[in-house]
């Protein structure tokens, strides 16, 4: 039953779901009425607005059933790899093995938002000395100790070095609590010296080849650890196949992004696009299902674009959004204020780029890891953002800071300055806590003012 695209609330989704069922809706195993997740404690869902397509329903249900998949995997004897602070390299390797699944424990940072702080995760982190001066990813500590949201992984792999300081501190605290972590180091990406051999990386970055070789050596250690867990060796063909599967998902997501960001009328809301990007980097604990869910979403967007329909007014201000939000509802707020997403940089663009397939597969993954926007200087990140702003025709930029996240504090100003200098479009910085209700009037003022400025400039 096809309806005109629109954003609807949870109650409206329940009505629509029943109508769809009566009309013979065929659902995946993880399907069901969306409001059932509220009974599980996901109270934030009551305040969100959703896309009304079946593809979006499946997207949400896929996201909100990840815990079930993880506990089922444990029950069924599949080994679980927790890929921490890594968005695009370790999961690709882990999914080369049939008997392994990989997930992203850092994703627990959204639990306090989704459960509107009723989960107790921050309280546990507080009691461990990791208070609100740290990034909300500290909720992960609570998730590990309570074991309420995911089973303890059989292998925990975490990158450290030129990544988020907060996360490294939190992960070290976790390690100290008796959760063994396999650490690997990612160096700060730097420009090659005159006498150094340079290598071009995905995303337009350059680094000395020595750095690449170092990262490759680190990945070799990771492969060995995963092979031990799987009881199976990883050959190059397996790795190539794994990379191909990752690339297939990235390809779908990139087409989805391009179509959505460049369409005259926004075909898919910002919130669903954020979830889609997150799913594409860690697969929500099932790589094959992730592909199906994202492909369906792409089909829906294609259909809407070709029909010239969408979920927002055609004159919506085209906003480029930097950093993921701690409170999902703010993506709705952007659209309420007259904006739409036209470009994103959620700190993991390296995990959206296709992995090179014409070189040694482990070298290719090392290149991807070194192309992480977080491990290089902020100006390089800003330059890539500027290129994407031009590609998507964005009219303004919102830099959304994560409270307590150390990199946000230093990078935001650098990025804003470079965008203003190079592209001369308005840029604002906002800070979004996990539950933003009490500061929404202030957030709305900033976003509405940005939209007004964009429209006055046209």
Partner 1 sequence: MLTVGIDAGSRTIKIVIFDAEARSIIDGLVIDQGIKQGQLALNLLDKILAANNIQKDKVSRIVATGYGRNLIHFAEKTVTEITCQAAGIKHFMPDAVSIIDIGGQDSKYIQLDPNGNVHNFAMNDRCAAGTGRFLEVVATRLDLELEAFGNLAAASKSAAIISSMCVVFAETEIVSLLAEGVAAADIASGVMRAIASRVVAMAGGNVSEPIVFTGGVALVPGMAEAIEAVSSKSVCIAPSAQLTAALGAAIIAAK
Give me 83's structure tokens. Answer: 């890929």
User: Residue 390 or 413: which CB sits closer to partner 1?
Assistant: 413
Q: How far is CA 49 from CA 297, 320, 353, in A?
A: 17, 20, 29
Rounded Cα distance between 267 and 307, Å, is 10
User: Residue 210 or 315: which CB sits closer to partner 1?
Assistant: 315
The answer to whether residue 442 forms part of the interface with partner 1 (CB under 8 A) is yes
Residues in contact with partner 1, total (CB under 8 A)?
19
Minimum distance from residue 73 beta carbon to partner 1 (Å):
40
The answer to whether residue 456 forms part of the interface with partner 1 (CB under 8 A) is yes
User: Residue 218 or 431: which CB sits closer to partner 1?
Assistant: 431
User: Residue 373 or 426: which CB sits closer to partner 1?
Assistant: 426
Q: Which residue is it, tokens 């420009």?
A: 191
Minimum distance from residue 409 beta carbon to partner 1 (Å):
10
Which 412-441 positions form the footprint of partner 1 (CB under 8 A)? 413, 417, 420, 426-429, 431, 439, 441
Rounded Cα distance between 376 and 52, Å, is 39
The answer to whether residue 449 forms part of the interface with partner 1 (CB under 8 A) is yes
User: Residue 2 or 458: which CB sits closer to partner 1?
Assistant: 458
The contacts of residue 373 (CB under 8 Å, 6+ apart) are 203, 345, 347, 348, 349, 350, 380, 381, 384
User: Which ranges of 159-283 does DSSP label H, i.e. alpha helix?
Assistant: 165-176, 209-230, 236-262, 270-282
Q: Give one word for 204, left, alpha or beta, with left for phi > 0 and alpha for psi -120 to 50.
A: left
Q: 128-131 — which CB contacts under 8 Å span 24+ positions? A: 128/173, 128/177, 129/173, 130/169, 130/170, 130/173
The answer to whether residue 410 forms part of the interface with partner 1 (CB under 8 A) is no
Minimum distance from residue 416 beta carbon to partner 1 (Å):
8
Choose one: 102-110, 153-161, 385-393, 444-452; the region binding partner 1 (CB under 8 A): 444-452
Question: Are residues 362 and 370 in contact, defined by beta-carbon separation less than 8 angstroms?
Answer: no
The answer to whether residue 458 forms part of the interface with partner 1 (CB under 8 A) is no
Max Cα–Cα distance, the chain, nearest Å: 70
Nearest to 89 by CA among 242, 233, 227: 242
The answer to whether residue 336 forms part of the interface with partner 1 (CB under 8 A) is no
Minimum distance from residue 431 beta carbon to partner 1 (Å):
6
Q: Which residues pair with 396 in a beta bridge?
A: 319
The answer to whether residue 90 forms part of the interface with partner 1 (CB under 8 A) is no
User: Residue 185 or 336: which CB sits closer to partner 1?
Assistant: 336
Classify 429 as helix, strand or coil: strand
Minimum distance from residue 336 beta carbon to partner 1 (Å):
11
Minimum distance from residue 303 beta carbon to partner 1 (Å):
36
The answer to whether residue 267 forms part of the interface with partner 1 (CB under 8 A) is no
User: Residue 278 or 319: which CB sits closer to partner 1?
Assistant: 319
Choose one: 97-105, 233-241, 245-253, 442-450; the region binding partner 1 (CB under 8 A): 442-450
Classify 160 as helix, strand or coil: strand
Minimum distance from residue 10 beta carbon to partner 1 (Å):
23
H or E stretch covering 336:
helix 329-336
Residue 190: φ, ψ to 5°: -130, 165
The answer to whether residue 22 forms part of the interface with partner 1 (CB under 8 A) is no
User: Residue 208 or 433: which CB sits closer to partner 1?
Assistant: 433
The answer to whether residue 185 forms part of the interface with partner 1 (CB under 8 A) is no
Q: Which residue is it, tokens 């904006």?
A: 339
The answer to whether residue 77 forms part of the interface with partner 1 (CB under 8 A) is no
Q: Which residue is it, tokens 């997930």?
A: 103
Minimum distance from residue 45 beta carbon to partner 1 (Å):
24
Minimum distance from residue 449 beta carbon to partner 1 (Å):
4
The contacts of residue 241 (CB under 8 Å, 6+ apart) are 96
User: Residue 273 or 325: which CB sits closer to partner 1?
Assistant: 325
Out of 9, 35, 206, 453, point to the residue binding partner 1 (CB under 8 A). Answer: 453
Interface characters, 360-399, with partner 1 (x: CB under 8 A): ----------------------------------------
Rounded Cα distance between 266 and 439, Å, is 27
Question: Are residues 114 and 67 in contact, defined by beta-carbon separation less than 8 angstroms?
Answer: no
User: Residue 307 or 442: which CB sits closer to partner 1?
Assistant: 442
Q: Give one word for 16, left, alpha or beta, with left for phi > 0 and alpha for psi -120 to 50.
A: alpha
Out of 27, 196, 363, 448, point to the residue binding partner 1 (CB under 8 A). Answer: 448
The answer to whether residue 333 forms part of the interface with partner 1 (CB under 8 A) is no
Rounded Cα distance between 368 and 357, Å, is 12
Residues that bind partner 1 (CB under 8 A): 413, 417, 420, 426-429, 431, 439, 441-442, 445-446, 448-449, 452-453, 456-457
């Amino acid at each position: 039953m096809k309806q005109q695209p629109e954003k609807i609330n949870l109650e409206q989704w329940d009505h629509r779901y029943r109508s769809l069922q009566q009309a013979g809706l065929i659902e995946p195993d993880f399907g069901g009425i969306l409001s059932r997740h509220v009974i599980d404690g996901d109270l934030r869902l009551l305040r969100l607005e959703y896309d009304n397509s079946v593809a979006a329903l499946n997207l949400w249900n896929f996201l909100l059933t990840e815990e079930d998949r993880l506990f089922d995997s444990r029950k069924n004897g599949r080994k679980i790899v927790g890929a921490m602070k890594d968005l695009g390299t370790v999961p690709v390797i882990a999914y080369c093995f049939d008997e392994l699944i990989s997930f992203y424990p850092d994703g627990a940072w959204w639990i306090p938002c989704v459960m509107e702080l009723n989960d107790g995760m921050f309280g546990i982190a507080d009691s461990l000395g990791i208070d609100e001066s740290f990034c909300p990813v500290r909720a992960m500590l609570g998730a590990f100790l309570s074991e309420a949201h995911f089973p303890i992984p059989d292998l925990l792999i975490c990158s450290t070095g030129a990544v988020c300081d907060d996360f490294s501190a939190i992960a070290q605290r976790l390690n100290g609590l008796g959760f063994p972590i396999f650490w690997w180091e990612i160096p700060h990406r730097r420009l090659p010296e005159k006498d150094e051999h340079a290598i071009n990386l995905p995303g337009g970055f350059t680094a000395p080849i020595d750095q690449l070789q170092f990262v490759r050596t680190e990945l070799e250690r990771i492969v060995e650890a995963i092979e031990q867990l799987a009881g199976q060796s990883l050959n190059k063909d397996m790795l190539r196949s794994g990379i191909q599967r990752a690339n297939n998902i990235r390809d779908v997501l990139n087409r989805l992004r391009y179509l959505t960001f460049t369409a005259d009328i926004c075909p898919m809301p910002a919130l669903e696009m954020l979830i889609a990007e997150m799913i594409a980097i860690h697969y929500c604990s099932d790589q094959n299902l992730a592909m199906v869910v994202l492909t369906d979403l792409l089909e829906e967007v294609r259909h809407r674009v070709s029909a010239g329909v969408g979920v927002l007014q055609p004159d919506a201000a085209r906003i480029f959004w930097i950093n993921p939000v701690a409170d999902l509802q703010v993506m709705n707020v952007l659209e309420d204020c007259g904006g739409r997403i036209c470009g994103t940089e959620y700190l993991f663009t390296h995990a959206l780029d296709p992995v090179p397939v014409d070189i040694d597969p482990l070298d290719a993954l090392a290149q991807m890891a070194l192309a992480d926007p977080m491990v290089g200087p902020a100006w390089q990140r800003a330059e890539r953002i500027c290129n994407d702003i031009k590609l998507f025709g964005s009219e303004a930029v919102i830099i959304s800071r994560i409270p307590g996240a150390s990199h946000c504090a230093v990078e935001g100003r650098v990025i804003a300055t470079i965008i203003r200098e190079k592209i001369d479009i308005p840029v604002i910085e906002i800070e979004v806590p996990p539950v933003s209700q009490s500061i929404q009037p202030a957030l709305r003022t900033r976003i509405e003012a940005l939209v007004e400025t964009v429209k006055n400039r046209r």
